[in-house]
Each structure stands twice: as structure tokens, then as C-alpha cells.
Amino acid sequence: MRTAHDVVVIGLGGMGSAAAWSLAARSLAGRSLRVLGLEQFGPAHDRGSSHGGSRIIRHAYFEDPAYVPLVLRAHELWEAVEREAGRRLLWPTGGLMVGRPDGPLVAGSRHSARRWDLPHEILDAREIRARFPVFAPRRDEVGLFEARAGIVAPEAAVTAHLELAAKAGADLRFGCRVLRWEALPGGEGVRVVTSEGDHHAGHAVICPGAWAPDLLANLGVPFTVERQVQFWFSPRGGTSPYTRLPIFIWEDESGERFYGVPPHAGSPDGVKVAFYRRTDVCTADAVDRVVRQDEVDAIARHVESRVPTLPGTFLRATTCLYTNTPDRHFVIATHPDHPQVTVACGFSGHGFKFVPVVAEILTDLVTTGRTPHPIALFDPRRDFRPPP
């Protein structure tokens, strides 16, 4: 076996890159941790989930109010990463959640905002049209607006975390696919078998993204991987009115949602839109990365019903992967059967905004076995009931 490390981080996408830095920067027993990071592709690649030019960060969390303290801490940490890396990662645009007032999106966002006393406004359809003239809400639709919502740039964020991890002393290796891992008897570390040889470490942090069904089959979580498509359009009449828009998520009467991200300095070429979730089950290694014309037509028709000038000229599209749990909540925990293994996975299409706080949690669990952050919702032993 090669030289032992204190911690091996498997997967260097959003979560893993941040964890590698957080661990390498943390001292234990008066010395820095020796961190090995393993990634099967190159730095800040586009084969998983941490790409696409933009990710939304929002605080009034409709999925569950339990996320709010975590996203507030994540926002603080994103700003700290920007300062440390000398690189812009956040663009505050504001955020608008639009739908029927009793629908899950608006009602859930309002519940979280009130539960945590988050600044927000409720706008009726007339007020939405007056403030954002490109939007065409139905008369029975309202919007929850929060000024602190905005955009995180995923590729830039992964790159920044990798640079900081290397600067802190982490040994980062790319083009090295993990084939399997095993916990050694008596809690005596882990052995990781890769395409480039075996590695031994005292602890493993596994952030496998869409490869969770393969690398964490023994966790007992019924993961599914979905192919999702992100689209960019140049609106009719130009992008100028859209540069002043907030990020937005829109829920129609059937419960289908799409989201939009305005042009920004990190991704200036058009407006990004996508369905929030359309099930197309696949595997990480057998995903269809070709975007078909009927998919472009479907998103254009849907978006045009609420944002009439947006689907002007189609610019491009790319696929990404969601790794889902049945209840759409994350898995962040010490492995129930192996105390020397910590896992972070199943981020179900809404995890990237939490990257730095997840890294903080993982570092806590590795170094002390516990964390002050509320993570009971993410226990892999929970009852995985699908959302209503």
C-alpha cells in the first residue's frame, strides 16, 4: 500500500472539493490533517452535478424549514471562500417563487420565511408584473420575493476549493477512479482500491455524487439517478431586461416547476431555464448526453406561458445528474456500520448551495464524531417516505 493519509476524500465535485479544503485546513492534535483527494475525471468537470454556470441560493426554503439554518451558514461561508480565494462566486439577484398561494412552492417558502423571520415580500400578480414586466403571472398566482437570494457559480466554486485545498497541503489526484473501498477490521482505517492502485487512510469521506448507488450500495439507501437538462435562450428583444431579474422558480397548477437564472458575469450568454424535476432515470455511466429538439421545444412552450419573450433563440443545452433519495432529503452522516467512514450524497437537485456548510459538517464528523449543525433530517437510517 502507498503512504497512509489521515483522510481520503472520494469524489472532488462540489462537496468533495470543499471537504478536501476544510479537512486540510483543520488541525487535529496540534497538526494538520494529511488529506488525499481522489477524482475519476479532471478538475471542475461536467460529467456529474457540479456544473452549468450557475446554481441558485435561496433562504426561504420550501422543501423544509430545517434547511434554513444550514443555508444561512452556507451563505456566510460562501462569502468567506470568496475572500480567501480572491474569486467572485456569488451574485445577489434576489429570488422570486411564483405559484398559487396554497401550492407547495409558495406556501412552503412562506412557512420557512415566517418560521425563521426571514425578510421577504408577498407580491400579487399585478405587483409581479409591475416590478418585473417580462413576467406574465396568472391572476390567481402570487410570488414570494427575498432580496438575499441569488446565484452561485459551480465551476468557479469547485476550482476555488481545489486551489485552496492544494494550498493547504491536500494531495489531489485526478483521472483516478475508485473501484471499491473497504473498512478495515476494528475501525483501523479504510482501504481504497482505484484504477491507479490501492490507498490506505485512517478515515474516508465519500462524496460520490451520481456514483452513490455503486460506491455506497451497503448504505441501504434506495438512490435513483436522473438525467436533467439545462437550457440557455436569448430572449426576443435581447437580454437587457433580464439582467435585472431575480432568479425565479415557477410552479403551475399541476405542480410542475421550472426555474430561471438571469445572465450574470459568470455566465453572460443568455437566460438559463430548466424543469425543476422531470424524471428520466439513468445511471451515471450510461446517461444520454444528447439533448433532442423535442426537449428544447417542450421547455420553450412551458416557459413561454409565463415568460412570453424568453424562448426567443435557443443557444445551447447540457445535461446534468440528480442523485435522489425517495424523500428528496440529503444523506450526511457517519456510516452506520463503519465509524471511520463519513458520507455526503443524495443531494436531489438542491444541494449545491449547501456545499461549504456540508464540508464543515463532514470535517466536524471526521475530527470529533459530532457536529453542532442540525443534521437529523439526513440520517441514512430514516424512514424514506416519498414526499406527498
Per-residue pLDDT of the chain (388 residues; tens, 9 = 90+): 445 899 999 999 999 999 999 999 997 767 889 999 999 999 999 999 999 999 999 999 999 999 999 999 999 999 999 999 999 999 999 999 999 999 999 999 999 999 999 999 999 999 999 999 999 999 999 999 999 999 999 999 999 999 999 999 999 999 999 999 999 988 789 999 999 999 999 999 999 999 999 999 999 999 999 999 999 999 998 888 998 999 999 999 999 999 999 997 666 679 999 999 877 999 999 999 999 999 999 999 999 999 999 999 999 999 999 999 999 999 999 999 999 999 999 999 999 999 999 999 999 999 999 999 999 999 999 998 776 6
pLDDT at 277: 80
Query: Which pLDDT does position 266 carry in this prediction?
Result: 61
Q: What is the pLDDT of residue 3?
A: 54
B/e letters for 169-208, b = 16+ CB within 10 Å, e = fewer, are: ebbbeeebebeebebeeeeebbbbebeeeebbbbbbbbbb
The pLDDT value recorded for residue 388 is 67
Helical (H) or strand (E) element with 205: strand 197-206
Nearest to 267 by CA among 242, 303, 293: 242
Mean pLDDT, all residues of the chain? 95
Give the model's pLDDT for residue 2: 47
Residue 267 has what pLDDT? 66
Q: Is the whole model's pTM more than 0.85, yes or no? A: yes
Cα–Cα distance list, 200 to 9, 172, 179, 184, 192 (Å): 12, 15, 14, 10, 6
Q: Is 199:38 a contact under the CB 8 Å cutoff?
A: yes
User: What integer pLDDT is reported at residue 265 of this predicted model?
Assistant: 64
